[in-house]
Amino acid sequence: MAYSTIKDPSAHFQVKTYTGNNADTHAITNDGNSDLQPDLVWIKRRDYDNQPVLHDSNRGVTKFLSTDRTDVEGTISPTTKFQSFDTDGFTTGSTSGAYNASGEPFVAWQWKANGGTTSTNNDGAVTSTVQVNSDAGFSILTYTMNSGSNETVGHGLGVTPKVIIYKARERGDSNGFWHFYTTVLDGSLDYLKLNEDGYKFNSSLSSPTSTTFVGGGSSTASYRIFVAYCFAEVQGYSKFGKYVGNASTDGPFVYTGFKPAFVLIKADSNYKYWYMFDNKRNTFNLVNNGINPSLPDAENANDNIGLDFLSNGFKIRNSATTLNQSGTTCIFMAFAEHPFVAGGIPTTAR
């Protein structure tokens, strides 16, 4: 039975839905059991083709990136779009449809690192600025590569991450894509492009260790500034793995050891979209409001991408090829609403 050292996952990760009001200052307050001051906020307007936007407290409120494109890092006025990371949520401004359009529905996925307090890490060949939540297996890094490529960077977790997502902040061409590195497919390092819907690629880079990972791949001296988000598994709180589709409405059951709050899925196949699901946009099963981080598209409420959130994992409930093509391996990234067992008491299903 999967016990967890994290009794309340909402202290480390929360999903928040909200309605925009176009006010100059709109404070979004979380509603989990614990207060959560986020350090990574990923926002998507649910009903329109606004870009998904990412803010983190390493880079500060004026800097954003969009997961559906390779664009360089954008700079905004904090008074108009994203204003602050708060003690239990965040605050937006009024002038962008991607953050606070009046009367429109939004969702924000939020992770806690270290409250914006960073330290210098010299474990790798490249110095990184890091903030770490070791309890939850999460760190945010900013760093500048030296003149060469394939240089190691310290991530600060103290254990080996299973997922590393990074982006060159000043590169906007096709080589400035979102790297989604993982070892869950076959034990070696592979990567997918978070801003595209294609196959995985076999990486020639060395796999991450408990202290470092290769932080730039084929980057050059002209494109050296990066941000990275590193995730290690924590029993009863996070799980990163894979399943194989069976093309049945009685689809695969995936054991996580917790009731999910959030699941990201991608098939290792061409033209199969990424999809993100959560416990706030679908409060009952079937969970079928998918958002694709590689597109600006509105939320897709579709039974062909449905799954159930269970007390100890999730189960695919469709036979469509996006999540359940026969014989196709799909990767997933999941975070908990509640551990399967906390304080000796099992959680209940929906």
The predicted-structure confidence for 5-55, as pLDDT tens digits, reads as follows 899 999 999 999 999 999 999 999 999 999 999 999 999 999 999 999 999
Q: Is 136 helix (H, G, I), strand (E, B) or coil?
A: coil
Contacts of 314 (CB under 8 A, 6+ apart): 253, 254, 256, 260, 263, 287, 307, 308, 334
**CA separation for the pair 206, 43 (Å, rounded):** 32
The pLDDT tens digits for 84-107 are 999 999 999 987 799 999 999 999
Residue 341 is predicted with a pLDDT of 62
Of 251, 242, 267, residue with least CA distance to 310 = 251
Give the pLDDT of residue 148: 64
Contacts of 234 (CB under 8 A, 6+ apart): 4, 5, 6, 135, 136, 137
Task: Give the pLDDT confidence of 166-216 residue by residue, as tens digits.
Answer: 999 988 888 889 999 999 988 899 999 999 998 999 888 899 999 999 987
Helix (H) / strand (E) element for 165: namely: strand 163-168
Is it the case that residue 220 has pLDDT exceeding 80?
no
* Residue 218 pLDDT exceeds 70: no
Task: Among 79-83, 244-248, 290-294, name the one with the lowest average pLDDT.
Answer: 79-83
pLDDT tens column, 291-323: 999 999 999 988 788 999 999 999 999 998 899
> How long is the chain?
350
Question: Quick check: 54 and 40 in contact, CB under 8 A?
Answer: yes
